Amino acid sequence: MDTTVAIIGSGFSGIGLAIRLRQEGVEDFVILDRNEGVGGTWWANTYPGCACDVPSHLYSFSFAPNPDWSRTYSRQPEIRDYLARVADEFGVTPHLRLGCEVKAAEWRGDRWRLETSQGPVSAHVLVSGAGPLVEPRIPDFPGLARFEGPAFHSARWDHSVDLRGKRVAAIGTGASAIQFVPSIAPDVAQLHVFQRTPPWVMPHSSRPITPWEKRVYRRFPALQRLVRGGIYAGRELLVLGFVKHPRAMPLLERVSRRHMERHLPPELQRKARPDYTIGCKRILPSNGWYPALARDNVELVTDVIAEVRERSIVTADGAEREVDAIVFGTGFHVVDMPIGRLVRGRGGKTLEEAWNGSPRAHLGCTVPGFPNLFILLGPNTGLGHSSMVYMIESQLAYVVGALRELRSRGARTVEVRPEAAERFNAEVQRRLQGTVWNTGCQSWYLDGEGRNPTLWPDWTWRFRQRTARFDPAEYVVA
């Protein structure tokens, strides 16, 4: 198959780009996704309690507001359905090739040549919307392969396993665990929550949106835009603490500490109290987390896991806990993003080889040596406080700008100049120095050397400003 643009992924990134391409009059494109349904993150993560933790009015496309969100923070099925509906409404669905895994992509002189599970695809331009949090990471505990019960990651929830009345180990206390632990705790016989580092948890303001509010949003779309703007501005204030003045962050710690003290007895507080600056790892909103930990059938285990046996987990202190099932809430391969191994540029190097252990890209999007390749939500576009959809929409404008440039010049290739990419990355790393993410905690934001290839260290509107216009001077357009 021959196409002008091949897009990997049908999440917010892939669907968003497809819509922008159609608006530009480009119809010759294909969206390849290995999943059997549209939605990316929101198709794959079906664990109990799965929901967004950025308000839905902001965590959605600006051009496709949804007056019918049922809650201020919507649950996974609703977000998945929203994306499928938007794909339909904007005429993108016929371009989808689902169940199609991209196994390799190689630059061959003037085109990308893709190997997929449904045969070869040749494309003039390749856009990766393959997702920042897509490949589950499961720690290599000694003996794990010997475990005889069901064991699965939260992003691949096995709904055929009935956890009711079972002894369950939940490993990890990050953004997913904080949602599924309170959801399953009332139904299981015993839940052992294995914690490496305690999260900072804030009170959650999630609530149903009333029929009256929905009517108002439907009647006056401008009002919903106003609410969205207010949420955006409120969240953006957090940049002051995260990036500009990390010393102000302890003000937030007080709120979180009080939240914990309200629900946990003193001996549990000692185990659940973080010892790093709030914001250094992702701040998690939940009203259910601490009450779940305080339940009689829930145990918070802080000793490290030494070994997994056929029917039990043994911690470093020698304690052995019998369990029937293990659920991993242990995050994703982020700094070693899988797409890095698949994409091979000019000269035969993969992205991973070019990155040498730490991803970097110009505006999180283009990489020297990889002509006509654009990465959506690439390196240093992540946020600790606001909607990733805002970052995606910023990059969409940039990619469309690049394609216009190609078209208007009748050119074949566009490739970022190494010096432009280096300048940008040096600036990003300089800005990251003084941020809360560099205050000494261990997090998935950092690579093995302590470099942060993940987060955007500035106001998000600055990112929008910088991606608003494609600057041909930073590229070789030939």
Residues that bind ligand FAD (CB under 6 A): 8-14, 32-35, 40-41, 45, 50, 52-54, 59, 101-102, 129-134, 176, 342, 376-377, 387-388
Q: Whose Cβ is closer to ligand FAD: residue 51's or residue 301's?
A: 51
Pairwise CA distance, residues 172 & 179, whole Å? 12
CB 376 within 8 A of CB 440: no
Q: Whose Cβ is closer to ligand FAD: residue 56's or residue 358's?
A: 56
Pairwise CA distance, residues 9 & 279, whole Å? 30
Which residues does 399 contact at the CB level (< 8 Å), separation at least 6?
Answer: 17, 20, 127, 365, 374, 376
Q: Whose Cβ is closer to ligand FAD: residue 10's or residue 413's?
A: 10
C-beta of 158: minimal distance to ligand FAD in Å?
16
CA atoms within 13 A on the CB side of 104: 12
Three-state SS for 14?
Answer: helix
C-beta of 119: minimal distance to ligand FAD in Å?
13
C-beta of 80: minimal distance to ligand FAD in Å?
10
> ∠ at Cα 165 (161, 170), nearest 5°?
65
Q: Whose Cβ is closer to ligand FAD: residue 5's or residue 102's?
A: 102
Q: Whose Cβ is closer to ligand FAD: residue 9's or residue 340's?
A: 9
Q: Whose Cβ is closer to ligand FAD: residue 40's or residue 359's?
A: 40
C-beta of 333: minimal distance to ligand FAD in Å?
11
CB 364 within 8 A of CB 395: yes
Three-state SS for 113?
Answer: strand
CA atoms within 13 A on the CB side of 91: 10
CA dihedral 344, 350, 355, 356 (to 10 degrees): -170
C-beta of 43: minimal distance to ligand FAD in Å?
6
In eight-state DSSP terms, residue 248 is G
Q: Tokens standing for 316?
A: 């470093």
Pairwise CA distance, residues 214 & 205, whole Å? 18
Q: Tokens standing for 5?
A: 């643009």
Which residues does 427 contact at the CB level (< 8 Å), separation at least 6?
Answer: none
C-beta of 122: minimal distance to ligand FAD in Å?
16
Q: Whose Cβ is closer to ligand FAD: residue 98's or residue 268's?
A: 98
C-beta of 73: minimal distance to ligand FAD in Å?
8
C-beta of 102: minimal distance to ligand FAD in Å?
4
Q: Whose Cβ is closer to ligand FAD: residue 11's or residue 340's?
A: 11
Pairwise CA distance, residues 15 & 213, whole Å? 28
